[in-house]
Structure 1
Amino acid sequence: MSTGKIPARTAWKKVLLIGDSLTQFGFSKEGSYAALLADYLQRKCDVISRGFSGYNTKWCQIILPEILKEFDPEDIAMATIFLGANDSNLPENKTQHVPLPDYKQDLKDMVDMMMTYGIPKERIVLIPPPACDEKAWKKFCLENDKLFTKCNLTAGKYADACLDAARECGTKSVDFYNSMMKREDWQDALCDGLHLSSAGSQLLFYLLRPVVDSLTSELPMIYPDWKDVDINNLTECLKP
């Protein structure tokens, strides 16, 4: 059950993106999947990014209830959970690593929080972590005095756990990791070995678009197309 005052409903539906740095950078030049969604949904939905660089599922499930309080659940056309890039660090990364069974359960708990708040499971989308180019990320870590604790095989196990969580919860999902790995040049989908490049953002948008269409195709364009505006009756024609 939600707590606190629920915001007044608006005509503009929302696409809410929850995640780590891959979501925080979602409007950047390289990691632009959120920007691509916003462009695709112009005058239908507001795309709202709540991404937190370096966060894992343990941390995000604590802040999720406060994030949800910002919105009327009836206004949420789609909500994504895109986590695992940090959880899947190897155990020597004691700050960010989350054991695989805990990661899966955390995702299920976050889905449950959303559903309890009033977002139907059919509007929730789980996105697995992407593949990791170990060579490129190790180079980045060495150059930036960061601990290198990533393994692409491990990332794949977390991606599978994410898809399993989606199946068990009855939510939607996209198979981002395996879609990357099927590409001959999959490393090009990453700008530094871990974060998305423009090519990776385009791939994620391509995977999300059918899901977005299924959830937003019936939504009207907000305000009429300019060619349909009655210039002799503007006040009536442009009523909200």
Structure 2
Amino acid sequence: MACQRNTATVSQSTTWPKVVLFGDSITQFSFSNDGCWGSMLADLLQRKCDVINRGFSGYNSRWCVKILSKVFEEFASSDVAMVTIFLGANDSNLPANSHQHVPAEEYKSHLISMVEKLQMCGIPREKILLITPPACDVVAWGADCSLNGRQCHKCNKTAGLYASLCKESATEMGTGCVDLYTEMMKLQDWQQLLNDGLHLSTRGSELLFNLMKPFVVKLTSEIEAKFPDWKDVDNTNPDASLC
């Protein structure tokens, strides 16, 4: 895998540490009004880390495993504080959607391969967080598909199968994991966590953010905020504080 290597640690780097969000449309939309979990991360980590969105709407694990090397070659591994891999919403389409569907075991193998590639690039497994695909409200997603001239090929039970395989991948590879599917299904009104039956609503984004937060805080707790607080700047000699 082509990637930049650097022996310095994040804390020694002169660049801002990076939190890289890698996945499909739920990642691509993570700075939108509804799917705002990426924005929430950026707010949590302000002045500590850059939160970088590398989401690709409509992509599945079969395609993402092929582009991962190109996506991450711009980052020095020592500057990466954390990586999320959030895939499966498209893979878990039923086989009738042959363009996006990826068989379950192949999906799992791609997740494992992506973790291995990141490790080869110098990003340790402890910095990688796998996120399971969410539950799917087939009624709402079917209505959305109909409005947009598409057929619905989703099944919530199948989404749960892919979520379980994502969890297995994380266990086998020793990465972190957020089981978004299971946490959603614990709620009686879980459909309200989605804005169209598939993508996260604001409430769903808040749930995902809160599930991720302990993992994020653990990885970034020792990263210091860049530059002193304004109250600590010596106004009579700013160079002493800022240079």
TM class by shorter chain equals over 0.9
SS of equivalent residue, structure 1 residue 206:
helix
- In the alignment, what sits opposite 2:60? 56
Counterpart secondary structure, 2:208: helix
- Show the 5 A alignment for 1:1-240: 2-3=2-3, 9-239=13-243
TM-score using structure 2 length = 0.95
| Structure 2: distance between partners of 1:163 and 1:200 | 19
**Local SS of the residue matching 2:84:** strand
Shift in CA distance, 4/219, structure 1 to aligned 2, threshold 3 Å: closer
CA contact (8 A) 2:29 2:35 kept: yes
Once the two structures are overlaid, the 10-residue window that deviates more, 61-70 or 230-239, is 230-239
Secondary structure of residue in 2 paired with 1:168: helix
Give the secondary-structure state (helix, strand or coil) at the position aligned to 2:119: helix
Amino acid at match of 1:128: T
How far off is 1:231 after superposition? 1.1
- Give the whole-Å Cα distance in 1 for the aligned partners of 2:236 and 2:205: 44
Deviations 1:25-47 (A, max 9, x none): 00000000000000110000000
Deviations 1:160-196 (A, max 9, x none): 0000000000000111100000011100000000000
For residues 81-122 of structure 1, the C-alpha deviation after alignment (integer angstroms, 9 at most, x for no partner) is 000000000011100000000000000000001000010000
Give the whole-Å Cα distance in 1 for the aligned partners of 2:226 and 2:208. Answer: 26
Instruction: Supply the distance in 2 between the matched residues of 1:3 and 1:237 (Cα, whole angstroms).
Output: 35
1:128 Cα shift?
0.4
Are the aligned partners of 1:2 and 1:116 in contact in 2 as well (CA < 8 Å)? no
Shift of 1:5: 8.3
SS of structure 2 residue aligned to 1:78: strand
- Using the TM superposition, give the Cα deviation of residue 230 of structure 1 relative to its aligned residue in structure 2, in angstroms: 1.1
Deviations 1:37-87 (A, max 9, x none): 001100000000000000000101111001111100000100000000000
Letter in 2 for 1:132: C
**Where do 5+ consecutive residues of structure 1 fail to align?**
none
The root-mean-square deviation of aligned C-alpha atoms, in Å, is 1.3
Instruction: Give the counterpart letter for 2:145 in structure 1.
Output: C
SS of 1:183's equivalent in the other structure is: coil
Contact 1:55 1:86 in 2 (8 A): yes
Q: 1:80 to 1:3 in 2, by over 3 A?
A: closer
In structure 1, distance between residues paired with 2:216 and 2:5: 28
User: Percent same amino acid at aligned positions?
Assistant: 55
